[in-house]
Amino acid sequence: MKIIIKILVPGILKKCFLYLTLISALIGYVTEAESSSLAINLDPENISGRNPDYTASFKEGDLPVNITAPSAVIEDNEGMGINYLTITIKNPQPGDILTADTSGTNIIFQYNQNSLVLTGMNPGGMDSAEQYQKVLQTVRFNNPGTNPDTTMRIIEFTAFSGQNNDNTASNTAACFLTIISVNSPPVNTIPGSQMTPVNIVLIFSSNNGNRISVSDEEAEAGEIQVSLTIDRGSLILAGDSGSRITGNNTIAVVLTGAVEQVNSELDGLKYEPEPGWSGKVYLNIETSDLGYSGMPGPLTDNDIIEITVGVTTEPNQEPDAVFNEGETVILDAFDQTGEMKTYEWYQISGPGVFLSDKNIASPAFTAPIVSFQGAELIFELKSENNEGMKFTTRVIIKINDNGIIGFPEDVLTFRPAAQAEMGIKIIKGELISIKGINPDEIENTENRPENLIYGLINIQVKVLTPEDQGAVAEIYFSEPADNEYKWFGFHEDSGWSDYGENSVFSDDRRHVTLYLNDYMDNGIINNTSGLGKPSTGSGAGDSGGGCFIRISDLKNNLNPF
């Protein structure tokens, strides 16, 4: 369509001609799009008010989010069929991922950089609009990293139909995706309980193996603030890192600066006891990120170090129990007198671990990452019985290196079966336990995968706050997973299920990110799942061999809390 109107007015003829030519081009574009036999509508019910486009939002740390309305449609008015459908992030940022659920269809997808391409498995990719529409309604966006770029993403959808490279394109519909950054708290790394003789200054440093440090992966060049307080005596900082210090050489010191500056200052922190005094004091450490990034504003981490002045312990004390990295440890309040009224567990030395419940007789934790020399963890239990008698007991747990190599240093390795090696890294939540389960113990074989090469693993993760709707874990494999393998879950009530909507494989398929939000009880997620090949028959698949625990043992041994 062309519109040419001549206006014989000197000085404006050329300008009017240009404006009307532009308007005619726009009218021609709309007419061409409306006359196409293909049409995409991401929001037919106009839920977002942008029909045929759609608006959505993604919150850092949440599950992947749908970027179409549930009723999104593809119209093929002439019944030509569709060769392929492209979904493209026009302004991609680091960590962006698009996925789709193609189960129950003949559609396959390929994601390359910023574009997801859906193609039918028939010759030329041809399939019906209904098949493509089913997959269209499952397209999701995810960015599993921390501190994602908050630029609004524009994600365009276009369908194509035709033969001999004479493709007919649909209109281009777009999802306008808002990215919400969530502030993560800073993390203090502290040593266990400390001891120093009377009148001797205690120095916290790397050289002494008792350094205090802080981290905040979102702070970048922003500042954090560390407040240090002690019951009695004084705290002394060198003051040579470029950070700002108030209250130096008193019982309350405040340190403000970049993370690197603060850690440099803390490496060498001195505690000077009062002259001639002996006893116990408590060093309180509170770190604030000053609300550097995202909602809900400033977050803090608080820790306490017990310092004993003028008291010694028994040398060369043997551990009470020995475990390997990745194994589940259950502490036991043994040798208590009378019926107990309260329990309170503290970890006073060794690599930090998360106890399932500090106020029960037998809390559980997962043996942490240690060096090849191993490490000792010392716990103290303060308890009181119904008669008012109070007790203090110490438990020493030795953790040995499990000998597994070939995984990233920050990944906790374990053996779900005798010959299998895997790793786990908790992104959101706190790991309580991880165990291998023998799939052959499961009588329900309906929809069971053909081959569970690592068996099944049971993961128990503590959700830290009521606002959290789930946890996030990365599972690492000793070898890349084949493309045909997927992640499957099992539960006694619902049976076997494809965990595809809650799992995202890395590009090299060496690990999978799991979004755990199922079967939560008292803030603890109990997930049983594994890597398997989709079943092509009705029978049970191969479990992959190995040595596992029984499900009955799992119930008895992994749920003391």
User: What confidence tens digit (pLDDT) does each residue in 328-384 have?
Assistant: 999 986 655 557 788 888 887 778 888 988 889 899 999 999 988 898 888 888 888
Which two tokens mark 543?
A: 């479990």
User: Structure pTM?
Assistant: 0.48
Other C-beta atoms closer than 10 Å to the C-beta of 477 total 21
- Closest C-alpha among 98, 50, 86 to residue 158: 86
The DSSP result for 270-305, as a single string, is: EEEPPTT--EEEEEEEEEE-TT-SSBT---EEEEEE
Q: What is the DSSP letter of 250?
A: B
Nearest Cα residue to 253 out of 261, 245, 265: 245
Pairing of strands 321-324, 390-400: parallel
Q: What is the pLDDT of residues 12-65, one digit of tens each?
A: 333 333 333 333 333 333 333 444 688 999 999 998 888 899 999 998 888 999
CA-to-CA separations, 273 to 205, 227, 234, 307, 312, in angstroms, rounded: 17, 19, 7, 10, 16
Give the distance between the most distant pair of CA atoms in the chain. Answer: 108
pLDDT score at 77: 86
Digit-coded pLDDT (tens) for 259-293: 989 999 999 999 999 887 778 899 999 999 887 66
- Measured distance CA(496)–CA(501) in Å, rounded: 14
Cα 82 to Cα 60: distance, rounded to the nearest angstrom: 35
Radius of gyration of the CA atoms of the chain, in A: 30
For the cut 60, the answer to whether the pLDDT of residue 484 exceeds it is yes
Mean pLDDT across the stretch 173-185?
Answer: 88
**Dihedral sign, Cα of residue 211, residue 201, residue 232, residue 383:** positive
pLDDT of residue 48: 85
Hey, what amino acid is at 128?
Answer: S
What pLDDT is recorded for position 2? Answer: 37
Instruction: Name the burial class of residue 364, with classes exposed (0-12), middle (13-18) and buried (19+) by CB atoms within 10 angstroms of its CB.
Output: buried
Task: Give the model's confidence band at 221: pLDDT under 50 very low, under 70 low, under 90 confident, else very high.
Answer: low
Mean of the per-residue pLDDT values of the chain:
82
Question: CA angle 59-63-64, nearest 5°?
Answer: 90
Query: What is the band of 543 on the pLDDT scale with cuts at 50, 70, 90?
Result: very low
Positive or negative CA dihedral for 401, 406, 411, 413?
A: negative
pLDDT band, residue 135 (cuts 50/70/90): very high
Q: What is the pLDDT of residues 286-301, one digit of tens each?
A: 999 887 665 566 888 9
